[in-house]
Amino acid sequence: MVDLFEKCRQRSRVDDAKDKGIYPYFHALETRQDCEVVMEGKRRIMLGSNNYLGLTTEPEVIEAGIKALEQYGTGCSGSRFLNGTLRMHIELEEELAHFLGKEAVTTFSTGFQSNLGIISAVVGRHDVVICDRENHASIYDGCRLSFGKLMMYRHADMEDLEAQLQKVPDTFGCLIVTDGIFSMGGDIAKLPEICALAKKYGARVMVDDAHALGVIGKGGRGSASHFGLEDQVDIYMGTFSKSLASLGGYMAASREVVEYVRHVSRPFIFSASITPSHLLQVAGLPRRIHGGLRAGGPAPRHQRLSPQVPEGPPHPHHRIRDPRGSHLYL
């Protein structure tokens, strides 16, 4: 029998990078997430953070976390199924459902876990899930955890997506899953075309809005709102660890689909629930992000931070001009 750990002892590109002093991972920060950080004793400009709206250092968000710790303690000590549901879980889910315009929401302990829990629950043995090749790793792992058949299409290639849809047996259900904003390339999914093809072939659509929530769409509502397709995207998935400055994830869908996932999803059922401090840090943030749309209020936070992001269907690459004259590409 071969030693299982033999692969761990073999020299790899990691060892080569460390020897050359160019290993880029696990460098420790010594300050909180901000535009500037201290890393290994030196000031650095932070270009790699997902803190899109700068809320991790917002005094009110920090105070909310402290208040939750004092009132509820450090954790829930159980899964949502049993003793791990607090009233604030339900209140946050209701707030998010209202903000996103869906009937119901359920929350997960992390964004990664959300994709695992949603896809593995709704895609069964006699179903197909079709993925863009550049989807996030958590989507692929959710597909592997399901009993369904995984099919892939070339990135943003709608002809290839249709070719895959044509291969789905008439007796199978089908879920198309795509990132809303792709985390590596930064491009926005072709949701109008994806939804049109889903309607043509009778498939359902799920969008991972981890990088879109708080960034695009009306009031920061994400990619479906960006295109005006809220009623054509069946499932929204999102995370609290980016624009919302906390930890956790969510699923927004029809009430019957959310209830099904709550009672079938093993990653949801057998995991401890989101901690009180992370919940209370998020509570109220959707209203604050969107708040500027009220009459007489300031511009919404997502628009104040990126005022040149156009609403509506995008050019393949948005060119954004900031007030200092430099250009960014989205």
* Active-site annotation, residues: 183, 211, 242
Residue pair 102/257 in contact (Cβ under 8 Å)? The answer is no
User: Cβ contacts of residue 43 below 8 Å, gap of 6+?
Assistant: 36, 37
Report H helices in 173-312.
191-201, 223-227, 255-264, 266-269, 276-282, 285-290, 301-305
User: Cβ contacts of residue 150 below 8 Å, gap of 6+?
Assistant: 128, 129, 131, 140, 143, 144
The single residue listed with the structure tokens 């990653």 is 267
The type of residue at 33 is Q
Query: Tokens at residue 266, please?
Result: 């093993």
Give the DSSP H/E element, type plus range, for residue 9: helix 6-9
The type of residue at 132 is D
- CA angle (206, 224, 150) in 5-degree steps: 20
The single residue listed with the structure tokens 């093993």 is 266
> Chain-centre distance of CA 272, in angstroms?
19
C-beta atoms surrounding 205 within 10 Å: 23
Q: Considering only CA atoms, which of 73, 49, 51, 48 is closest in space to residue 61?
A: 51
On the 0-12 / 13-18 / 19+ scale of CB atoms within 10 A, 138 is buried
Query: Tokens at residue 267, please?
Result: 């990653």
